[in-house]
Amino acid sequence: MIAWVCFVLATVAIVVDGNVIDGRKSLVWGPAIELPELDLPVRYFFVQLVGSDGLNITRPPQNSLVVGWTAPNCRLKRQTIDRHDGSFVVRFRLYDACDQVEFSLSTADGQPIAQTPYTIRKPSGRPLLAEHCDCGQLPTTDEWLTMAKCPAHFAQLDRDLANWSDRSVDFEKALNYSHQRWTGPEHRYSSAVCHYQIINNEHKYEPTVEQRAFADFFNYRYVINVDGTVAAYRLPFLLSGDSLVLKQDSSFYEHFYHEMEPFVHYLPLKGDLSDVIEQISWAREHPEQVARMIANARQFVHDHLQPQHIFCYHALLLQRYARLLINTPTEPNSDMEQVSKAAHDYYGQCTCDKRKDEL
Ligand SMILES: *[C@@H]1O[C@H](CO)[C@@H](O)[C@H](O)[C@H]1NC(C)=O
Ligand SMILES: *[C@@H]1O[C@H](CO)[C@@H](O)[C@H](O)[C@H]1NC(C)=O
Ligand SMILES: *[C@@H]1O[C@H](CO)[C@@H](O)[C@H](O)[C@H]1NC(C)=O
């Protein structure tokens, strides 16, 4: 009986599109594997199944990826997201500091994938930290930028800061101004340098429609990115799916918008959305261009919008902004309130140094 089972496993290859999945040729990559030294708020990697002919599998059978995990003495939550196009996002979340996390990847017929088994550990030998932990041993910004392999420049940042080429940000003045401007009784909800309020929106824009869960967006062939109160922050998520993104023209932007091109990464829509029907008709008549835009958008997300890229941008922004300050604030104002970290500790105690615990 056992011999028979083994025989079957060894000879039944999974055939897709007339193509056979080749485990070792399949691809595994992503931030959790490439940058283990960084404790970013999310850890994941990608798997792309590849056929024996070297081409990506695009229509795999159900449950074609098997993931096995080992994380000694650590609580770990794991998730495999099937993108239904031969690729997967494998995510894990740590609830404890962990010396290392091991995992193995195989196809449904038991072939090991790529370099399986994998071990994620920090080259420095320090433990991997739970995402929510603030362990207070932060490197300097320069060290972090190097660890994260950040680019030296973001084109948008250079453009945005060009007007302050001299050291000319007077933060005290800005703080005074925002204090005067936004602390009146009519601004009872908040006062901040970056300011807006949302009041009774739901009544202003009636009738509303039934809400869709985010995960269900990709059940649709086309998704529209429309501004809300400011830029629609969901754009990176939309671009990473397998639907065509129709992006509203807008004066709002995030730091990566200008690196994308209409008709290359997304289909543009006029600011007033008057051409929605026309653009969808165009998309229906041009399936090849649409498929290319979807693939380009996803590649863009892989290349520019992984967690380390977002953090690189913000680290560089804050570093460069700090250099522009005329007067660096050192003491908080007496009317500021310190918010304790403990108030945000939703996941229980943070153990920052695993080794110390075990001794
Ligand atoms: C296969 O998929 C990988 C990962 O998405 C991608 O980088 C590569 O360009 C694809 N190859 C082909 C031939 O489409
Ligand atoms: C820079 O200043 C010019 C002139 O005041 C203004 O038109 C432009 O919008 C500013 N650019 C940025 C990025 O703030
Ligand atoms: C900011 O406001 C304080 C208190 O009103 C004042 O003493 C200070 O001169 C102001 N600073 C600037 C740069 O306007």
pLDDT in tens, the chain (359 residues): 333 333 333 334 455 555 789 999 999 999 999 999 999 889 999 999 999 999 999 888 878 899 999 998 888 999 998 888 899 999 999 988 889 999 999 999 999 999 999 999 999 998 898 887 777 667 899 999 999 999 999 999 999 999 887 778 888 888 788 778 777 777 666 656 555 666 666 677 778 888 888 878 888 999 999 998 788 889 999 999 889 999 999 999 999 999 999 999 999 999 999 999 999 999 999 999 999 999 999 999 999 999 999 999 999 999 999 899 888 777 777 877 777 666 455 556 676 765 544 44
Q: How far apart are CA 21 and CA 112, in angstroms?
A: 11
Residues 126 and 244 placed together within one structural domain of the fold: no
What is the position in ligand 2's atom list of the atom closest to the CA of 159? 13
Residues 13 and 126 placed together within one structural domain of the fold: yes
Domain closes at, from 263, 281, 306: 306
What is the position in ligand 2's atom list of the atom closest to the CA of 160? 13
State the distance from the centre of ligand 3 to the C-alpha of 171, rounded, in angstroms: 10
* SS3 at position 170: coil
Residues 243 and 126 placed together within one structural domain of the fold: no
Domain that holds residue 23: 3-132
Q: Is residue 173 part of a domain?
A: no
Residues 107-143 as b or e (16 or more Cβ within 10 Å = b): bebebebbebebebbbeeebbbbbebbeeeeeeeeee
State the distance from the centre of ligand 1 to the C-alpha of 55, rounded, in angstroms: 8
Q: Is residue 346 part of a domain?
A: no
Counting ligands in written order, the one closest to the CA of 25 is: 1
Residues 126 and 32 placed together within one structural domain of the fold: yes
Q: Is residue 143 part of a domain?
A: no
Counting ligands in written order, the one closest to the CA of 253 is: 2
Tell me, using a 6 A CB cutoff, whether residue 48 lines ligand 1.
yes
**Are the C-beta atoms of residues 20 and 14 closer than 8 Å to each other?**
yes
Domain closes at, from 132, 154, 173: 132
Q: Residue 123 is part of a domain; what is its CATH number?
A: 2.60.40.10
Residues 221 and 125 placed together within one structural domain of the fold: no
Counting ligands in written order, the one closest to the CA of 177 is: 3
Residues 120 and 235 placed together within one structural domain of the fold: no
Q: Is residue 280 part of a domain?
A: yes
Residues 113 and 228 placed together within one structural domain of the fold: no
- How many distinct structural domains can be found in the chain? 2
Q: Is residue 189 part of a domain?
A: no
Q: Is residue 271 part of a domain?
A: yes
